Amino acid sequence: MRLLLDTHALLWWLGDFERLSASAYDAIAGGEFEVFVSHAAIWEILIKTAKGRLQAPEPLVDRCAAERFNLLPIALAHIHETGQLPFLHGDPFDRIMVAQARCEDLVLVTGDRAITQYDVTVLPAC
């Protein structure tokens, strides 16, 4: 299994372990699964930090590297896949992560119940 952390799952892993479900924590911590972080999650965190809506763990990309998370760039195939998704969720960051999970055969670690409406494998983050 290969995991893709959504933005909240990443933030919880880096600073608030208790918010993660036991199954999500064990899957991330166990070391037997590859863990990916989308460039979209990094982008979302930096935008919200710039707006003063949250405080990003510093330095964010270095923290991801220290955790041995793989950074997942946004590819044209991912963008195309978002156009194939039904419009069940309005957040473009979440939509691109759903598309990435579908294209790359990743399990999306998320606490967002709206995402479960998509044809994507989900591991509940909370």
Q: Which residue has the tokens 């997942």?
A: 72
pTM: 0.96
Q: What is the pLDDT of residues 54-95, one digit of tens each?
A: 988 889 999 999 999 999 999 999 999 999 999 998 899 999
Taken in order of first residue, the domains within the chain and their CATH numbers are 2-124 (3.40.50.1010)
Cα–Cα distances (Å) from 20 to 102, 111, 119, in that order, read: 23, 9, 23
pLDDT score, position 57: 84
What is the rounded CA–CA span in Å between residue 123 and residue 121? Answer: 7
pLDDT band at 3 (very low <50, low <70, confident <90, very high): very high
Q: What is the pLDDT of residues 8-56, one digit of tens each?
A: 999 999 998 899 999 999 999 999 999 999 999 999 999 999 999 998 8
Containing 35, the helix (H) or strand (E) segment is strand 34-38
pLDDT score, position 89: 83
Q: How far is CA 70 from the centre of its chain?
A: 11
Cα–Cα distances (Å) from 111 to 9, 59, 85, in that order, read: 7, 24, 19
Angle between helices 92-104 and 76-84 (to 10 degrees): 110
